[in-house]
Amino acid sequence: MRDVLSPTTADSATVTRSADRRRAPGRLAPRRLTPRRIALYVGITVGAALMLFPFVWTVVTSITPRGSLAGGPTLLVENPTLDAYRTLLDSMPMWRIVANSFGIAIASTLLQLVTGSMAGYAFGRLAFRGKNVVFALYLATLMIPLQVLIVPLFIQMTRLGLNDTYFALLAPSIASAFGIFLLKQAVESVPRELDEAATIDGAGHVRIFATIIVPLIRPAMATLAVLAFMASWNSFLWPLVVIRSTELMTLPLGLATLRGQFTSEWDVVMAGSVVSIVPIAIVYLLAQRHIIAGMAHTGIK
């Protein structure tokens, strides 16, 4: 004889299947819009709008004929034009300046990745006398601002005959104490059992570093790459001190010169600002996932 489910039993089975379906992995139950959640969404939206407004205002001013800041912020353009960008390209070697900034930023980023990862491996994996003292000295340099080091760095570059050269722009950013600290934390998060297994197989420090450590700390390295690129791209004080030639000028210096030449033509000044902002914004948007992963893996809160 076939068993027949009572209506109560059938309803219970249906409710159980529905609950299991809601708890199934990969399925998220829809969140109810509570007043607290609505207030949170509104606050985030307002905050995002406030943060984006200066950039939007900059873009709008750059395409406004004879754009001015005297009348206050406005987002309405009657006759948008790109004349400010044409004036910008005609008034100075903008492509050369942008290429200089890209070259210095990329070289500085690569050098910091190499020196930071190697030093991070040394501090995180090797045992040598005075390791903690040397690492503490590295961290202490984070408290010294660049303004304090400008004079001794300039004297050193002068004695070496390197002023007004690409190497002078690059020298202070070859290594970074913050990068060493960040990558040391990432190296220490890698299980030591992987090193021991590789050592049993006959691998040395170079092979362990290249084939095990580096692939596993890529999120932290991506984070350092973005931060180093942004710092080099926005650097102004050091290039201002050591650079005299227009051919070696970086973008922040070019924008400062532009502000002096076109004091009343704010559309040209804003066009230069847009040129400086867009590349770094693209780099950050492409790498923001790696930044979040790197912060999570290295334990920085």
Residue-level pLDDT at 2 = 45
pLDDT of residue 113 exceeding 90: yes
Whole-model pTM over 0.85: no
pLDDT, tens digit (0-9, with 9 covering 90-100), for 38-86: 888 899 999 988 888 888 888 888 888 776 555 556 667 777 788 888 8
Q: 297: which residues sit within 8 A by CB, 6+ positions away?
A: 186, 189, 217, 219, 220
Q: Are 222 and 173 in contact (CB under 8 A)?
A: no
Burial of residue 175 (number of CB atoms within 10 Å: 0-12, 13-18, 19+): middle
Mean pLDDT of 109-121: 93
pLDDT, tens digit (0-9, with 9 covering 90-100), for 11-46: 454 544 555 455 444 455 556 778 888 888 899 999
Number of Cβ atoms within 10 Å of the Cβ of 235: 22
State what percent of residues in the chain have pLDDT above 90: 18
Cα dist. 240→231, 243, 251 in Å? 15, 6, 11
Residue-level pLDDT at 78 = 72
Domains of the chain in sequence order: 31-81 (no CATH), 87-298 (1.10.3720.10)
Alpha carbon of residue 271 to chain centroid: 23
pLDDT of residue 154 exceeding 80: yes
